[in-house]
Amino acid sequence: MRRNISVSLLGLFLMCLSACESENNNSELTPFEPNLPGNFPQEFVVPDFNPITEQSVQLGKMLYADTDLDGTGEGRSCAGCHHADKAFTSVQEGPLNVMSHMNLAWQDVFLWQGQVEGTLEDVMLFEVKDFFKADPGRITGKEKYKKLLAEVYGDSQITEKHLAYAIANYVRTLTSSDSKFDKIMRKEPGYAFTSSEANGWALFNSEEGDCFHCHGSFLFMDNDFHNTGLDDEWLGLDQGRFLVTGNASDMGKFKTPTLRNIELTAPYMHDGRFATLEEVVEFYSSGVKFTEMTDPMMSHEGGISLTEQEKKDLVAFLKTLTDESLKE
């Protein structure tokens, strides 16, 4: 299920020019060059059928914020639910919490229940067609889009796919990599953990704290699904991954959310049941409901039984994952 399609962006662009000629006859497109820090992979995961260019990113950014993408008449937009100052999430408005659009360039399964697997193009096509029910004519009829659409897609008849692919390339650029934690890992001058943050980081990576199993790697998530003992019976949307696969072993499983910018993305869990980080830590300390469906990696029955100081230390560390530049 996991994919690892990484190629040089410049090489990818040149390789795809001829393959995409039927949709784009403009050789003046500028390859998008990511500016990623040393503690991040230096290449995006980019499919060969949607080369990323400055022009496609610009087009996707415009579409991301445009309520004309919504063909239902409700006036929705991607940006309306995914706010930059909240790490591209928003305050919960529906039965499921809004997942972050940050760092999706390195993920290949999407949404809380994993309804879409594959590439960013796959999930954005799902959003454009099924969520927004977009009418491409509403976009192609707007003067501000005509030049960019012609540059990116030539004389092609614009479809939902074209809109989704442009949005995918924009979302691919939404990276969060400049938190205090990142600066410490890069050994930038003037940045160091406080005593409490350092204790929280050590606890995070210990078997006692038991956080790193699901929230390891530079993404602070594992691109997988887990039942973490939130409930001991599952009804409706709380059935999670089971609603997609029908496999009894997936009952109550949800996609691991990233912990990057977790300070900005309250409320927490798939249903927003916890309002604060302190409540989340308390749950994992003393509120875990063990059943036959609870993930076996959670080996501490009932919770990890943290002291009050350890709870404070863990929250202090989690706040070092906040990328302050997103608040600007």
**Dihedral, CA atoms, 145, 147, 152, 154, nearest 10 degrees?**
110
- Is 215 part of any known ligand binding site? yes
- Is 16 part of any known ligand binding site? no
Distance, CA of 237 to chain centre = 20
- Ramachandran class of 204: left when φ > 0, alpha when ψ lies in -120 to 50, beta otherwise: alpha
Instruction: Enter the tokens of residue 268.
Output: 């927490």
Distances 203 to 207, 217, 255, 257 between C-alpha atoms, Å? 8, 16, 23, 19
Distances 72 to 68, 77, 129 between C-alpha atoms, Å? 10, 11, 11
Cβ(318)–Cβ(262) below 8 Å: yes
- Is 82 part of any known ligand binding site? yes
DSSP-derived letter for residue 129 is: I
- Is 213 part of any known ligand binding site? no
Distance, CA of 20 to chain centre = 28
Residue ranges for the known binding site for heme c are 78, 81-82, 211, 214-215
Annotated binding site: 78, 81-82, 211, 214-215
